[in-house]
Amino acid sequence: MSMKKIEMVDLRSQYERLKADIDSAVSGVISSTAFIKGPDVRLFEEELQRYLGIRNVIACANGTDALQIAMMALGLRAGDEVITTNFTFIATVEVIELLGLKVILVDPDPGTFNISIEAIEKAITPRTKAIVPVHLFGQCADMEPLMELAGRHGIHVIEDVAQATGTEYRFIDGTVKKAGAMGTIGCTSFFPSKNLGCYGDGGALFTDNDELAALIRSITNHGMKVRYYHDTVGVNSRLDTIQAAILRVKLRHLDDFNEARQKAAAHYDRELSGLRGITVPVRAANSTHIFHQYTLRIDGGERNSLRECLENEGIPSMIYYPVPLHMQKAYAHLGYRADDFPVTARLTGEVLSLPMHTELDDEQLSYITGCIRSKFN
Ligand SMILES: *Cc1c(COP(=O)(O)O)cnc(C)c1O
């Protein structure tokens, strides 16, 4: 039998495995015709609350909306400064910009790829109102010193959990918390390729603060608590019932999904660590890693040629992210210079993400690592 085609993300094979449950969840919603705000939405929110160990989950239309709604709910005003990492997906800074807030970018830590706490500390001013750590590629930013720093300055923390639903962070006293359950508000995405993904767009906000949760819920629904009475400026950002029903099925498998990713990552680690010029992902001491991406660093300018080599062998790979935010055309007005962020610049030239999903088998993994080893030893 020939090897199954290698995909960057294999949504089809996962669906085939869950088909009976997914199909019945979807057709249940269709027969009920409760397409908006059907019972599955609230049930999903409650199930995710229990999974995360948090008091409130509010579903919304996508992860980008979740970030925007979080900043609206915290009452951030034009000119307020929001600090975030320069090494992330554009959504994180887009909403800061859209709300007229001031984007303050900082470099990540070159090991974990996550926002550098020292860099945040240097960027804080009296106008700083929020910090947005992104738990990049499935691993938590260093939340204990970050929360301590934010607390000292009275700054809100909005966690971007889009790549890390299910990741756990361990505090020095042994307390373990899920990503998104540590900051003022956690924001996630259920885009199909995320660790917990639906079959369209979806997102959610998490918070332990009940008052804030009520405000968030009203903002997602045109700023109303009582129908047609609008207390705050809101948006229309809801999770479809069909997506909620799919997510209820998939949430039951989330720990297994994340374990399957960790198993694939362990295979990559075993075969690729120690090769000259290749650095396998650095594991933070106090966070689990659920490998939204498995991202290598390739030095000596060999990254692009490795990518081509893999492509010729039928192996997809991706560069997350090829252009740092401060070099994007849309953000030229921020006034940063090319050499303001040496860590991001270096990572941009070195990172390469390998196929990572829940359905990779040993044959595929050995084929991928075999190709890389033959080029690198
Ligand atoms: C995917 C992603 C988002 C945005 O989520 P959408 O649901 O696509 O809007 C935000 N931040 C990060 C880090 C992401 O990876």
Walk me through the domains of the chain, giving residue ranges and CATH numbers: 11-107+114-251 (3.40.640.10), 254-376 (3.90.1150.10)
DSSP annotation of 172 reads T
Separation of alpha carbons 227 and 37, rounded Å: 14
Q: How far is the CA of 296 from the centre of ligand 1 (A)?
A: 21
Q: How far is the CA of 64 from the centre of ligand 1 (A)?
A: 6
Q: The tokens of 194 are what?
A: 């995320």
To test the pocket of ligand 1, the residue of 60, 62, 64, 353 to mutate (highest count of ligand atoms within 8 Å of its CB) is: 64
Cα separations (Å) of 5 from 69, 232, 358, 360?
40, 50, 14, 10
Cα separations (Å) of 107 from 68, 104, 123, 346, 366?
22, 10, 10, 11, 34
DSSP annotation of 134 reads B
To test the pocket of ligand 1, the residue of 191, 291, 293 to mutate (highest count of ligand atoms within 8 Å of its CB) is: 191
**pLDDT tens-place string over residues 295-312:** 999 998 899 999 999 999
What are the pocket residues of ligand 1 if the criterion is a CB atom closer than 6 Å to any ligand atom? 62-64, 88-89, 91-92, 134, 160, 162-163, 189, 191, 201, 203
The DSSP code sequence of 252-320 is TTHHHHHHHHHHHHHHHHHHHTT-TTEEPPPPPTTB-B--SSEEEEE-TT-HHHHHHHHHHTT---B-S
Q: Find the range with the poorest average confidence among 15-24, 91-100, 205-214.
A: 91-100
In sequence order, the β-bridge partners of residue 84 are 105, 132
C-alpha 68 chain-centroid distance:
15
Question: Hey, whose CA ends up nearest to atom 10 of ligand 1?
Answer: 91
Question: Hey, whose CA ends up nearest to atom 5 of ligand 1?
Answer: 63
Q: How far is the CA of 173 from the centre of ligand 1 (A)?
A: 31
Q: How far is the CA of 139 from the centre of ligand 1 (A)?
A: 15
Average confidence score pLDDT of the chain = 96
Residue 319 has, within 13 A of its CA and on its CB side, a CA count of 17
The DSSP code sequence of 188-215 is EE--TTSSS--SS--EEEEES-HHHHHH
Q: Find the range with the poorest average confidence among 13-27, 164-178, 221-235.
A: 221-235
Q: How far is the CA of 195 from the centre of ligand 1 (A)?
A: 12
**pLDDT tens-place string over residues 113-147:** 999 999 999 999 999 999 999 999 999 999 999 99
Question: Hey, whose CA ends up nearest to atom 1 of ligand 1?
Answer: 162
With 0-12 / 13-18 / 19 or more C-beta atoms within 10 angstroms meaning exposed / middle / buried, residue 138 is buried
Position 1 confidence tier, pLDDT thresholds 50, 70, 90:
low
Q: How far is the CA of 85 from the centre of ligand 1 (A)?
A: 14
**pLDDT tens-place string over residues 187-200:** 999 999 999 999 99
Closest among 246, 235, 170, 250 to 205, alpha carbons compared: 235
Separation of alpha carbons 274 and 293, rounded Å: 20
The pLDDT score that the predictor gives to residue 112 is 97
**pLDDT tens-place string over residues 347-375:** 999 999 999 999 999 999 999 999 999 98
> Which alpha helices (H) appear in the chain, and where do they start and end?
11-32, 39-52, 63-73, 91-98, 117-123, 143-153, 210-220, 241-251, 254-272, 303-312, 342-350, 362-376
Separation of alpha carbons 321 and 344, rounded Å: 10
**pLDDT tens-place string over residues 18-38:** 999 999 999 999 999 999 999
Separation of alpha carbons 87 and 111, rounded Å: 13
**pLDDT tens-place string over residues 245-258:** 999 999 999 999 99
Q: What is the atom index within ligand 1 of the atom nearest the CA of 88?
A: 13
Residue 185 in 3-state DSSP? strand
Q: What is the mean pLDDT of residues 212-239?
A: 92
Residues shown for the chain: 377
Closest among 298, 288, 287, 297 to 262, alpha carbons compared: 288
Q: How far is the CA of 377 from the centre of ligand 1 (A)?
A: 36
Q: What is the mean pLDDT of residues 39-53?
A: 98
